[in-house]
């Protein structure tokens, strides 16, 4: 896992999944995570993002269950606020699997191991997958609101940027992060977009209410 320590802090959230090669802004306000950021800034600037499993609400301030696959990020910029909070921008570096959690800090620490991405798909197949993704986005009702990406981006950057930026459910993002290849992530993203399009097409039309 490139430049990622074996033991890293975990930042579990219910609705944010980080992808490699993509940046995400975060506002850090809880005391335990303010210390996490301060410690990271004093060290290797690495934080591991993980998604909380459903049912986390009852134990949020403890150690609720998280999904086993996350993404390590590097703090590429930060702002220290007067009240001790932080605004940071975290850039995804590499996916990982949580091996074991450790005590010792108010925030969560874990030993992690890499989940490398290897793709032997033919360039023509990846290009075809990209075209299908763009076509599906174009058909969606909210397609024009989606950010426009440079068509020359490498496939890994392209699909990860879409996975991060499209208005997807948290569990949909996790299912994309779990994909071990670019081609698998393309295929999963297309499944999600096709399902959304089917929902829009076949959703019951709202009826105008009758006022008596």
- Give the 3-state DSSP-derived string for the chain, with helices as H, strands as E and coil as C: CCCCCCEEEEEEECCCCCCCCCEEEEEECCHHHHHHHHHHHHCCCEEEEEEECCCHHHHCCCCCCECCEEEEEEEEEEEECCCCCEEEEEEEEEEEEEEEEECCCCCEEEEEEECCCCCCCCHHHHHHHHHHHHHHHHHCCCHHHCCCCCCCCCHHHHHHHHHHHCCCCHHHHHHHHCCCCHHHHHHHHHHHHHHHHHHHHHCCCCCCCCCC
Residues 101 and 160 in one domain: no
CATH number at 27 reads 2.30.130.40
pLDDT confidence bin for 100, thresholds 50/70/90: very high
Structural domain contains residue 56: yes
Residues 34 and 102 in one domain: yes
Residues 63 and 147 in one domain: no
pLDDT, tens digit, for every residue of 1-52? 457 899 999 999 999 999 999 999 999 999 999 999 999 999 999 999 999 9
pLDDT, tens digit, for every residue of 61-87? 778 999 999 999 999 999 999 999 999
Residues 95 and 127 in one domain: no
Residues 76 and 138 in one domain: no
pTM summary value:
0.86
State the total domains in the chain.
2
């Amino acid at each position: 896992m490139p430049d990622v320590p074996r033991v890293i802090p975990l930042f579990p959230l219910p609705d944010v999944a980080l992808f490699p090669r993509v940046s995400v802004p975060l506002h850090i306000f809880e005391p335990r995570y303010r210390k996490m950021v301060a410690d990271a800034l004093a060290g290797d600037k690495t934080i591991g993002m993980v998604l909380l499993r459903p049912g986390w609400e009852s134990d949020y301030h403890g150690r609720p269950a998280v999904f086993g696959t996350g993404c390590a990020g590097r703090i590429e910029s930060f702002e220290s606020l007067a009240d001790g909070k932080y605004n940071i921008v975290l850039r995804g570096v590499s996916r990982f699997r949580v091996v074991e959690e450790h005590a010792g800090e108010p925030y969560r620490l874990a030993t992690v191991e890499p989940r490398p991405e290897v793709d032997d798909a033919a360039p023509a197949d990846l290009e075809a997958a990209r075209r299908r993704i763009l076509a599906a986005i174009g058909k969606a009702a909210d397609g024009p609101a989606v950010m426009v990406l440079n068509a020359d981006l490498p496939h890994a950057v392209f699909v990860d940027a879409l996975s991060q930026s499209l208005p997807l459910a948290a569990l949909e993002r996790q299912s994309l992060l779990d994909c071990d290849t670019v081609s698998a992530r393309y295929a999963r993203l297309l499944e999600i977009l096709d399902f959304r399009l089917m929902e829009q097409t076949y959703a019951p039309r709202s009826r105008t209410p009758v006022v008596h």
